[in-house]
Structure 1
């Protein structure tokens, strides 16, 4: 993992305000990194980053995927499996059933499978962003699950 990270930010509707506040409070720490987000969250993050910029200054672009229920979670999962995401901030709502719960579970499964540092709430996000590894190169070790993919098949 390079010093400049590819950071995915996702939030369910009831958690968007908290994620936006986290991003606003950690604007400086996130500035050198590349952000990717699902649908509405991406638009809200772009708007947040633009509103506090000087007039005429170009604000940070966020790579926006589809909305989670429309396939954004699956797009993000594919990015994780292709090694295109280094860190995941996913503020998910444990109290509200989601119409795409299976996609959410699949996304979280891939984050664990590929050993991606993941924060699911404000406290874990603050711990993660304050880590000494956040702004340095870091080697993610391949998990034991890769033995399955590398196994020798017998005819």
Structure 2
């Protein structure tokens, strides 16, 4: 009989130990499931951000077929004793396709107009919003002076 009680006691102790393992395993599974759910939510949020970012970048294709890209212009200047390097891309929108062809044939002259204005844009470092608006109006005025009735708009594609 004592042998039976000893075996019964050992069996109870083993099952109790396995129950603790089972309880700890289910708690670990819950933690893993929770971590997996958090990871899925983060991935979903990142995909949403990526989609919004990619949508913001695609504005370049909306401008139209009568757009003549110029640049990128690389400007290296010493501002406050430090060398600064900037890049800017400009796009000119022509009134129609014939005017775009005329502007495209005169691209070296357009570079001669736009590049000095780019240098002036970055003379004081990174330009502000008002500096960019002034730059666009100067480009539009000077190009319209040289090429009458051919320019519809000036766009800054990127400033780095």
- Output the TM-score relative to the length of structure 2: 0.23
* Structure showing greater Rg: 2
Higher RCO, Cα 8 Å, sep 6+: 1
Which protein is richer in helix relative to its size?
2
- Output the TM-score relative to the length of structure 1: 0.24
